[in-house]
Amino acid sequence: MFLSGLDVIALLVSFVVWTGYTLVARLPRFNRYSLAYTTEQLRFKWMRRMCETEVRVADASLMGNLMRSVAFFASASILVLTGLVALIGSGERAFEVFQTLPFHDRTDNLGQFETKAVLLVTVFIYAFFQITWSLRQFNYTCIMIGAAPRVADSDHEKDVFARNAARLGAMAADSFNLGLRSYYFALAMLSWFISSWLFMAASILVVYVTFRREFRSKSLVCLRHELEHDL
């Protein structure tokens, strides 16, 4: 058995709180109070206003800034995965170094250490796929901006475009959020090498921090005020 009973419980707790929060946050009764929903509405406002101007250099610049942030995390994911694969490849030598560190779980054996490292790699692989998919969707949004209606086109055509462009941008942001959330839980998983109990506590803390930022943050208040002011 590569993982102890307590390790399995800690892993299940982390998985349940991670997926549970993601599913609950997507429910319509909760989602409409979230940052994701609010920013989607502001994206519609942005795309609709863009249709009223012929010069769209500023819009292209804003999209470029968004894509650079996503690209940074995509590159970081590759670097982290490279380091973790090298760690696993070191095998016994890496475990010997790990045993010299303070505050780690003394009950771990080589099999448990390698299993935890492999699971950590899995989380970052998931993060990489989500973040790169986000980058692709932002690319598609740029293509839509290039094909946006002209100022002289009908309001109906502009509304349809703004709605679709805002939705595509929101899906790109959602993929990025899923990838970024994987980083948070990967950091919590690092505490697993110290203690399974600490891993469970860290996972719950990550959910709390994520909830606060998504539904109770000052940033959300500012964005909602801006949205409500325009209505």
Domain limits of the chain? 5-12+36-230
pLDDT value, residue 105: 61
Q: What does the pLDDT read at residue 112?
A: 85
Task: Enter the pTM of the model.
Answer: 0.90
H helices of the chain, in order, are: 5-26, 28-31, 35-50, 57-90, 92-99, 110-146, 155-190, 196-215, 218-230
What's the rounded Cα separation, in Å, for the pair 43 and 125? 29
pLDDT for the residue numbered 231: 54
Q: Please state the three-class secondary structure of 201-224 as a single string.
A: HHHHHHHHHHHHHHHCCHHHHHHH
Only one residue has tokens 């058995």, namely 1
Closest C-alpha among 119, 92, 95 to residue 105: 95
* pLDDT score recorded for residue 104: 65
Q: Give the number of other CB atoms < 10 A from CB of residue 154.
A: 9
pLDDT at 107: 60
* Residue 57 CB neighbours (<10 A): 8
In this predicted structure, what is the pLDDT of residue 167?
A: 96
**Positions in the chain short of pLDDT 70:** 1, 103-108, 230-231
- CA dist 91 → 11, 43, 152, 186 (Å): 22, 48, 65, 20
C-alpha count within 13 angstroms, C-beta hemisphere, residue 185: 31
Q: What is the reported pLDDT for 113?
A: 85
- Determine the pLDDT at residue 230: 61
Handedness of CA 6, 7, 8, 14 (dihedral sign): positive
Write out pLDDT tens, residues 101-159.
776 666 668 888 888 999 999 999 999 999 999 999 999 999 999 999 999 999 999 99
DSSP, res 103: T
Structure tokens at 172: 């790109």
Alpha carbon distance 70, 84 (integer Å): 21
First to last CA, the chain: 59
Which candidate, 22, 13, 8, places its Cα nearest to that of 182? 22
